[in-house]
Each structure stands twice: as C-alpha cells, then as structure tokens.
Amino acid sequence: MIAFASFLNMGMVELHRNSKEVTKEKDDLEWEIIETTKALTRTGPKDGYEPKKISLEEELKALQQKVDINNYEYKRIPRPNEGKSSKN
C-alpha cells in the first residue's frame, strides 16, 4: 500500500511539473502574438491596404451591370410539408 501511495505521489508530481511547462509554453506563445501585434500597430504592415477611390454611384452602376434583376429563372421552393406522407 505504501508503494502504491509513493508511485501515485510521483505521478502527481510529474503531472504537475508537465502542466507548468505547458502553461509556460502557452504564455510564451501569447506573449509573442501580443508583441507582434504591437509592432504592427506601431509600424503598420509593409504593404498597407489602400482602398480604391470609388463613389457609391459608380459601385451601383457596376453592380447593376453585373446583376440583371429583370432576367431571372423562376425556381419553385417546396413547402415544408410537401413530399412528406402524413401518418395520422
């Protein structure tokens, strides 16, 4: 019984030690992510995002040319109770 208790104790110590190592690794990864985010915030990415200079009217015209709302194919959507046989 004493041998079992000592093995159990050794196992618990090992589990505790491994959990500390995992926690340390996790903290290190989070720290790297935070530092990278801070660096990007200060300097910005190398190839920054440059939005296109386009007006809403131009965007609407382009969308209307791409999508023709007057020419469509009608597809009937079945109702929820269609196609099921009633067992009542």
The ranges assigned to domains in the chain are 1-44
Side-chain-side CA neighbours of 25 within 13 Å: the count stands at 6
Which tens digit of pLDDT belongs to each residue from 35-75? 888 877 766 666 666 777 889 999 999 998 888 888 888 88
pTM across the whole model: 0.31
- Please, what is the Cα angle at 52 between 43 and 60, to 5 degrees? 145
Neighbour tally for 70: CB within 10 Å: 4
> Is the model's pLDDT at 87 over the cut of 60?
no
Residues 53, 48: Cα–Cα separation, whole Å? 15
Q: Which of 1-15, 50-64, 69-83 has the lowest mean pLDDT?
A: 1-15
